[in-house]
Chain A
Amino acid sequence: MRLKVNGQEREAQEGTLLLDLVEVPTLCHHPHTETKGLCRLCLVEVGGRLVPACATEAQEGMEVRTDTEGLRALRRTLLEWLALATDLSQAPSLLELLEAHQGQPQRWGGLGLTRKEREPIRDNPFFLRDYAKCVNCRRCVDACGDGIMGVYALTLEDRGLLAHPTTPLDRPLPETPCVFCGNCIQVCPTGALRPLSMEV
C-alpha cells in the first residue's frame, strides 16, 4: 500500500498506525494502555483534516502532512498551555518539547483556573498521587482498569480543566481494590504518580 507523507511516497502495511510512519510528539498514547487521541499533540493533517496519528491507520492514497504552519502553532500552543496550567517540573521530556517548540507560556497572560495548587495525596506507603502535575492523560486509570489490571481502583473526578483521576468514593488507596502493582506509576508520563522511595 502506498501513501504520501509530506509529499514523499511511502510504502506501508495495511493497518499500520500513522504514528509508526511519522515523527510527531506524543503524550497520551501508550502501547500498554488503550489511551489515545486525547492530548492531540500527535495531530497530523490528512486531506486538510486534523487526525491523531496515534489513532489513525494508514490507508491507500492518503496524503499526510506533519509540519504545516498550523500544526506547528498547535503543538507549541498546547505545550505552552500545559505549562501554564500544570506543574511540569517532574516531566523533563515535556519541558524539552516545550523548549524545542520555542514555547513561551507567559505570552498568554494569566490563567484563572490552574491545577498547580493541588496538594499531593499521601495515603499509602508506596506512592504519591500529586495531581498538581497531572495532565489528565488517563493512562493510569486505563492501566488500572480495562487496559492492564482489571482492578478498577482509579476513576475520574470532575469535568473540564479540573478533571483528574480519583479513587472510587474518593477513598484512600488502601481502602480500594488497589493491589499496589505499580502499573499506574509505570505509565504516568508526568511524575504525578511517583514512588515514595524517590522522594527526598
Chain B
Amino acid sequence: MEKPSLLPLLDARLPLNEEKVAEAARLAGVPLAQAWGVVRYYPRYRGLPQGRLLVDDPVARARGFARLLEEADGTHPPLGLEALSPVYVRLEGGERHVEHGGSLVPFHRFRLPFSLGHGERLLPPEPILDLEAYQRMGGLAGLEGLLKGRLSPDGLIQAVEEAGLLGRGGAAFPTHIKMRAVAQGEPPRYLVVNADESEPGNFKDRFLLEHHPFLVLEGALLAALAIGASRIFLYVRDEFEAAMRGLEKAIAELEEAGRLPVPTEVFRSGGLYICGEETALLESMEGKRAEPRLKPPFPVEKGLWGRPTLVQNVETLASLPLLLREGPGAWRAREPKLFSISGDVERPGLYELPLGTPLEDALRKAGGEPGELRAVLLGGAAGVFTRDLSFPLRYRDRLPLGAGAIVAFGKGVDLWEVLLGLTEFFREESCGKCFPCPLGTAVQVEMVRRRERDRSLVQHLGQTLRGSLCGLGQSAYWAYQSLLEVEGAA
C-alpha cells in the first residue's frame, strides 16, 4: 500500500546528515538500511560536484572536448542543451545556473530558448503558458468531450488505436495496448508521466514541458480518464526546474478553473539516466534505488505500489489532444513526430516532421548540408552512427529511431571522440544491478580508448551486453558497432 515516499522526505532535508537520513527513514516507515542505500545511490544525496561544469554531450565532444574542458572544473551529464552546446553549468551551494552565450540563467528560469522549427506542424511554434491562451487555440476540447460524455473512455482508447500511435519514448510500443491493459486491471490504477528525458541528443520532452505544459497536462488527464486512473504523477527530471514550476503553476490554474478531474502532482526525479527506465522510475517513486525490475510482471499489471500503472512518455501524451482534434484518420496519415536536431546544421532545434521523412530532408530543414557530413548519430546514446541519409525516419525500420535524436557531424569531426563520450556516459550511468552492464560498459570504454577494431572482441562485447537486464546495457554497444560499420563503408 501507498506510503510516504522517501525521496521527497530526503529532498526536504538537504543538505543531509546522519540524523536527517534516520528521520526521513522513520517518516517513510522503511529500514535505515534502505534509506542509506538510497542516499549512497543518487548523486544529489551524495553531494554534487561543484563549480563550473562542462555539459558532456555528443556535440561538445565534437567541438574539441579536451580543450573546452580546460576551462571547466569538471563535467555534467547531458541536459538536453545539445542545440546550444557547448554549454556550462555552474553549481554553487544549492544554486544551479546554465551558462550559455555569456549569460548566466538560474535553472528555475531557464527554458530552451528557441521556438519550434519549420515543418508541417500541429504544435504551435511559440510557448503557451497560460490557460486562456491554451483554450484560445482550442485546448481542453478533448477533455471537455470526455467529461461531457461526447467521447467514452473506451472511445478514446479506440481513437488511439485507429491513429496507430506508438510510444514516443523510444520503445515504440503501441500505446492503446498499454492503455487497455491498465484499464482492465483492478483499481486503484495510476498514471505516471515519464518526464525524465536524459538521452544525449534529445530535448523534445524538455521542450514540451517547458513550452506547452497545458498540452502535456491535457494529454495526461485524457489518458488518466481513459484508463480510470485515480492519480497522476509527473515524474520530472531533477534538472528541469523551470518545467517543474511551470507544470505546478499550470496544475493550479486547471484546478482553480475546475478542470482537473484527476488529482495530479509533480514528482522530482532521482536525477539519473536510468530513472527514465520505467521500472527503475517506479522503484525511485517507491523510495528505493532506481534499479530496473525483472520483467514480467510488467507495470501495466504491477506498477507503482503493486498497482496497475500506465507509464507513458511526455510526447506520447501530448499527442492525445492533437490526435483528437485532427481525428485519428488524419493524424495517422501524417503521423507527426518531434525530432531534436543538433550538431553541424545551421538551425539546430526542434522539428515536427511526419514519420517516414527521409533523414536528409530532416537535416535540410534544419539547414544541414548532407553532402558535408561525415555521419549522423541517430537515436541518441542508445542509437547508431549512420551515413544512410536516405533512411526514412520510421519506427521498426532498419535503424533505431529511439526518441528522435538526430546529431549531425561534419567532415572534420573525430567520431571516435564522440563515441568515447557515449561509452563513458554508459559506464557512469550503469546502475550496477545486473552483471554484464557494469562490467561490459567499463571494458567498452577501454576498448574505445585504444580504438579497438578486433571483430571478434567487439562481437563478444555486443553478445554479452545484449544479455543485460535492461535497455541501458542492452543498447550500450550499438554506437560502437555502428561506428565500425560506418568506417568500413567510408
Query: A residues near B, CB below 8 A?
Result: 27-28, 36-41, 43, 50, 52, 55, 70, 73-74, 76-78, 81-82, 84-85, 107-113, 135-136, 145, 152-163, 166-170
Q: Cβ of B21 < 8 Å from any Cβ of A?
A: yes
- Interchain nearest-CB distance for B476 vs A (Å): 12
Contact A82 B32 (CB under 8 A): no
Q: Cβ of B18 < 8 Å from any Cβ of A?
A: yes
- Interchain nearest-CB distance for B195 vs A (Å): 22
- A111-B442, A158-B41 known; A78 and B464 CB under 8 Å? yes
A-B contact pairs, 21 of them (CB 8 A): A38-B434, A38-B435, A40-B467, A40-B468, A41-B435, A52-B294, A78-B439, A81-B439, A107-B457, A108-B447, A109-B446, A113-B427, A135-B435, A152-B32, A155-B36, A155-B37, A159-B41, A160-B427, A166-B40, A167-B33, A168-B33
Contact A161 B439 (CB under 8 A): yes
Q: Cβ of B432 < 8 Å from any Cβ of A?
A: yes
- A36-B294, A160-B427 known; A74 and B33 CB under 8 Å? no
- Interchain nearest-CB distance for A80 vs B (Å): 9
Residues of B within 8 A of A (CB-CB), count: 45
**Set of chain A residues within 8 Å of B436, measured between Cβ atoms:** 40, 74, 78, 81
- Interchain nearest-CB distance for B186 vs A (Å): 22
Contact A77 B442 (CB under 8 A): no
With A and B bound together, what is the CA distance between A70 and B464 in angstroms? 8
With A and B bound together, what is the CA distance between A136 and B432 in angstroms? 8
0 or 1 for each of B26-62: is its CB under 8 Å from A? (1 = yes): 0000011111110011000000000000000000000
Contact A161 B430 (CB under 8 A): yes
**Set of chain A residues within 8 Å of B272, measured between Cβ atoms:** 159
With A and B bound together, what is the CA distance between A136 and B37 in angstroms? 14
With A and B bound together, what is the CA distance between A168 and B446 in angstroms? 33
- Interchain nearest-CB distance for B6 vs A (Å): 13
Contact A161 B294 (CB under 8 A): no
With A and B bound together, what is the CA distance between A37 and B450 in angstroms? 32
Among B428, B435, B466, which residue has its beta carbon within 8 angstroms of that of A82?
B435
Q: Cβ of B431 < 8 Å from any Cβ of A?
A: yes
- Interchain nearest-CB distance for B290 vs A (Å): 9
> Which of A74, A110, A154 neighbours the largest number of chain B CB atoms within 10 Å of its CB?
A74
With A and B bound together, what is the CA distance between A43 and B465 in angstroms? 12
- Interchain nearest-CB distance for A18 vs B (Å): 14
- A112-B445, A160-B432 known; A38 and B469 CB under 8 Å? yes
- Interchain nearest-CB distance for B323 vs A (Å): 32
- A84-B443, A155-B34, A168-B33 known; A73 and B463 CB under 8 Å? yes
Contact B432 A159 (CB under 8 A): yes
Contact B443 A108 (CB under 8 A): yes
Instruction: Given contact pairs A38-B435, A152-B32, A155-B40, enumerate 15 new A-B contacts (beta carbons under 8 Å).
Output: A28-B435, A43-B467, A70-B463, A73-B459, A74-B467, A108-B447, A136-B435, A158-B40, A158-B432, A159-B272, A160-B428, A160-B432, A161-B427, A161-B442, A168-B31
Among A50, A111, A135, A154, which residue has its beta carbon within 8 angstroms of that of B33?
A154
> Which of A27, A28, A84, A168 neighbours the largest number of chain B CB atoms within 10 Å of its CB?
A168
Query: B residues near A, CB below 8 A?
Result: 18, 21, 31-37, 40-41, 272, 289, 294, 427-436, 438-443, 445-447, 450, 452, 457, 459-461, 463-464, 466-469
With A and B bound together, what is the CA distance between A168 and B140 in angstroms? 49
- A152-B33, A156-B41 known; A74 and B463 CB under 8 Å? yes
- Interchain nearest-CB distance for A101 vs B (Å): 12
Contact A109 B447 (CB under 8 A): yes
Top-6 shortest CB links A-B: A163-B432, A155-B37, A152-B31, A155-B33, A81-B439, A152-B33
With A and B bound together, what is the CA distance between A62 and B36 in angstroms? 42
**Set of chain A residues within 8 Å of B40, measured between Cβ atoms:** 155-158, 166
Among B33, B430, B438, which residue has its beta carbon within 8 angstroms of that of A145?
B33
With A and B bound together, what is the CA distance between A109 and B460 in angstroms? 14
- Interchain nearest-CB distance for A66 vs B (Å): 13
- Interchain nearest-CB distance for A44 vs B (Å): 10
With A and B bound together, what is the CA distance between A38 and B31 in angstroms? 23
Contact A77 B34 (CB under 8 A): no
With A and B bound together, what is the CA distance between A5 and B421 in angstroms? 42
- Interchain nearest-CB distance for B448 vs A (Å): 11
Among A40, A107, A108, A168, which residue has its beta carbon within 8 angstroms of that of B434?
A40
With A and B bound together, what is the CA distance between A73 and B436 in angstroms? 12
- A39-B434, A111-B442 known; A81 and B464 CB under 8 Å? yes
